[in-house]
Structure 1
Amino acid sequence: MATIDIKSVSKIYAGGAQAVRDISIAIKDGEFIVLVGPSGCGKSTLLRMVAGLEEISAGEVRIGDRRVNDVDPADRDIAMVFQNYALYPHMTVRDNLAYGLKNRKTPKAEIAARVADAARMLEIEPYLDRKPRALSGGQRQRVAMGRAIVRQPAAFLFDEPLSNLDAKLRVTMRGEIKRLQRRLGTTSIYVTHDQLEAMTLADRLVVLNKGEIEQIGSPLDVYHRPASTFVASFIGSPAMNLVKAQAEGAGVKIGDQWLALSKPLTSDASLTLGFRPEDAALSMDPAQGLRFELDYVEELGAQRLLHGLVGGQPVSVVTASIHAFRGEMGLSITENKLHAFSAQTGKRLGQSDGVAAAHRAEALA
């Protein structure tokens, strides 16, 4: 186990294309960090630089007390789990698990013990004499994880390891990964584009956009206090509602509608107002709160997601009601669940600490 320090790291490819810009992350010993963002945001490139599979253009990476910029991948004391499993098809599961240890001249008795421990931990003991083609996708991913575990590395690096699995198996496997990481206590960096996967696995999230860090924080802090409209729209499903608004005194104007507040939300006149679909409520009386013009309904089983317009702008609301909603309704929003962002930069505008405290208290209740 070890700390990982990523200090002012950048990646510039031939021709000047910059994939990663001046990224710094201090990862604690035993911490589970998730790099999350859309395709092309630089998360896999950053992981590969930590692994030694991509050259670092600027900055440095330290694993423990050692600078590893010029250290070969095999000598960095890390183990990587890939999206495509990367198993040797001609070898049995047992041989796949043992292969890296044999290359390191590990004594046979120790290899056998480590393979047996990993197989028991991952519940793949019945498959040790099978070849990968005789395994399901989930079993192959367990073998890939087992190959990393037997190394007993300082850190695990996961590069979208569940993206080839079906939805049900992804849920099962991410739970197994989290339990294993807690049990082993190994420092881990996990890359995914799936924000739900990121939220459920991470001790801390690192949200990336266009090669830069948008926000670092615990899943709850990032969800309840997003640093920008990008984070607000990317983290959370369904996404946060973001509408253009004008602050006027102790309230805001959305299109031709007025939302009264107990105190001014921000000193900026023009802003983007954000609120989660679950933080709004609908009334059958359009005069109660903002006027919500229903467009269509998504049935989600235990809940319904209603899509409509407020002040001519698209808004979604989550409800458990079974009423046959139609036409115009009233929309109310809990005041301390509102978020204000700059209309120019998209960055979060200053709000009182009481807002963040209210979010955290409710989340932990």
Structure 2
Amino acid sequence: MAAIEISKVSKIYSGDARAVDNVDIHIEDGEFIVLVGPSGCGKSTLLRMVAGLEAITEGEVKIGGKVVNRKDPAERDIAMVFQNYALYPHMTVYNNLAYGLKNRGTPKAEIAARVKEAARMLELEPYLERKPRALSGGQRQRVAMGRAIVRKPAAFLFDEPLSNLDAKLRVSMRGEIKHLQKRLGTTSIYVTHDQLEAMTLADRLVVLNAGRIEQIGTPLDVYHKPASTFVANFIGSPAMNLVSGELNGDRLAIGYNVLELARDLPVSGALTVGIRAEDLQVAEEPSAHTITAKLDYVEELGATRLAHCLIGEQSLTAALSPAIPLADEMRFSIDPAKLHFYDRETGKRIHSRSATVTA
């Protein structure tokens, strides 16, 4: 096991196209880090630079305190799990698991012991004599993971390993990966574009946008305190409501609604207001911290109901209990402490000292 240090790392292609731009991440020994962001944000390129599959243009990568920029992938003591499994179709499961160890000259007895241990952990023992074509997608992915486990590497690198599985299998495999990583205690970097997958697996999230880090933090920190409108819009399902507001003194106008707030922001005038869907509560009576919106349409999700509303032309989504009655015009109460404020121009979070309702 080993810590991984990524220091001021950039990947620049011809024409000064920066796929990864000046990235700094310190990954603790045994930590599970998830790189998350939309397609083209640079997350897979960054992972491949750590693995040695992509040359580093600028900066430095250390694994276990040693600079690995010029080391081949085989010299970095890492194991990578790909989305396409990368299994040898003509080999049995046993031989797929053992192949890397055989190439390293590992004694046969040790190979057998490691393969047996990995097969037991991954419940692959009944399939050791089968070939990949006789396995399901989930079983193939377990073999790919087992091939990494038998190596006992300093770090695991996962490149969207669940993207080829159906939704139900992805959920179960997420749990298996998390359980195995905690059990093995191996430093891991995991790439995904699926924010739910990222939230479920990560000790810490690294949210990437256009090759740069938008935010690093625990899943709950990133969810409850998004550092930018990009993060607020990307992390969470449904995405955070982002509406235009106008702050004047202790009064915050959102469309035709006015909320009374204590003066706690170091700004005034136009800003962007973030509201999580679950923080909108149906209110019977108007008050200094209620807003009204016209009901547009409803999504029934079983345990939750999403009420999509409009304030003028601005969209507002509330996550409600199906037992709550709906009306053409909805009134919601908002705890001002749960409002998020962002600079209209930069999209960066505006930190408030407190957020309380005036009586």
Instruction: Name the structure 1 match of 2:311.
Output: 310
**Which ranges in structure 1 are unaligned for 5 or more consecutive residues?**
356-365
Secondary structure in 1 matching 2:40: coil
Instruction: Name the structure 1 match of 2:300.
Output: 299
Report which stretch shifted further, 161-170 or 306-315: 306-315
User: C-alpha distance in 2, partners of 1:272/1:111?
Assistant: 58
Q: Is the 8 A contact 1:245 1:271 kept in 2?
A: yes
Query: How far off its partner does 1:250 sit?
Result: 1.1
Query: How far off its partner does 1:261 sit?
Result: 1.9
Q: Is the 8 A contact 2:154 2:186 kept in 1?
A: yes
User: Structure 1 length as normaliser, TM-score?
Assistant: 0.94
Secondary structure in 2 matching 1:164: coil
User: C-alpha distance in 2, partners of 1:77/1:23?
Assistant: 22
Give the 4+ runs in structure 1 shifted more than 6 A: none
Residue deviations 1:235-268 (CA, integer Å, cap 9, x gap) = 0111100001110111211122211224444423
Query: How far off its partner does 1:198 sit?
Result: 0.4
Alignment of 1:76-225 (within 5 A): 76-225=76-225
Q: Which amino acid aligns with 2:335?
A: T
Residue deviations 1:203-244 (CA, integer Å, cap 9, x gap) = 100000000000001111111111000000100111100001
User: C-alpha distance in 2, partners of 1:225/1:35?
Assistant: 18
User: C-alpha distance in 2, partners of 1:158/1:145?
Assistant: 9
Instruction: Name the structure 2 match of 1:359.
Output: none
Alignment of 1:270-285 (within 5 A): 270-283=270-283
User: C-alpha distance in 1, partners of 2:269/2:325?
Assistant: 38
Query: How far off its partner does 1:286 sit?
Result: 7.1
Report which stretch shifted further, 330-339 or 104-113: 330-339
**Which ranges in structure 2 are unaligned for 5 or more consecutive residues?**
none
Instruction: Name the structure 1 match of 2:11.
Output: 11
Alignment of 1:311-326 (within 5 A): 311-326=312-327
User: C-alpha distance in 1, partners of 2:61/2:47?
Assistant: 11
Q: Is the 8 A contact 1:290 1:310 kept in 2?
A: no
User: C-alpha distance in 1, partners of 2:330/2:60?
Assistant: 56
User: Structure 2 length as normaliser, TM-score?
Assistant: 0.96
Report which stretch shifted further, 232-241 or 259-268: 259-268
Q: Which amino acid aligns with 1:333?
A: I
Q: Is the 8 A contact 1:285 1:329 kept in 2?
A: no
Query: How far off its partner does 1:269 sit?
Result: 1.6
Secondary structure in 2 matching 1:106: coil
Residues 286, 308 of structure 1: CA spacing in aligned structure 2 closer, same or farther, 3 A cutoff?
farther
Query: How far off its partner does 1:284 sit?
Result: 5.6
Report which stretch shifted further, 72-81 or 260-269: 260-269
Alignment of 1:28-39 (within 5 A): 28-39=28-39
User: C-alpha distance in 2, partners of 1:332/1:106?
Assistant: 65
Instruction: Name the structure 2 match of 1:336.
Output: 337
Identity of aligned residues (%): 69
CA RMSD of aligned residues (A): 1.4
Secondary structure in 1 matching 2:85: coil
Query: How far off its partner does 1:285 sit?
Result: 5.8
Q: Is the 8 A contact 2:34 2:204 kept in 1?
A: yes
The answer as to 2:64 corresponding to 1:51 is no
The answer as to 2:42 corresponding to 1:42 is yes
Report which stretch shifted further, 130-139 or 267-276: 267-276
Q: Which amino acid aligns with 2:252?
A: V
Residue deviations 1:104-158 (CA, integer Å, cap 9, x gap) = 0000000000000000000000000000000000000000000000000000000
Report which stretch shifted further, 16-25 or 325-334: 325-334
Report which stretch shifted further, 267-276 or 297-306: 267-276
User: C-alpha distance in 2, partners of 1:153/1:208?
Assistant: 26
Residues 266, 256 of structure 1: CA spacing in aligned structure 2 closer, same or farther, 3 A cutoff?
farther
Instruction: Name the structure 2 match of 1:289.
Output: 290
Query: How far off its partner does 1:16 sit?
Result: 2.2
Q: Which amino acid aligns with 1:89?
A: P
Residues 139, 94 of structure 1: CA spacing in aligned structure 2 closer, same or farther, 3 A cutoff?
same
Q: Is the 8 A contact 1:257 1:311 kept in 2?
A: no
Q: Is the 8 A contact 2:249 2:268 kept in 1?
A: no
Q: Is the 8 A contact 1:286 1:292 kept in 2?
A: no
Report which stretch shifted further, 250-259 or 264-273: 264-273
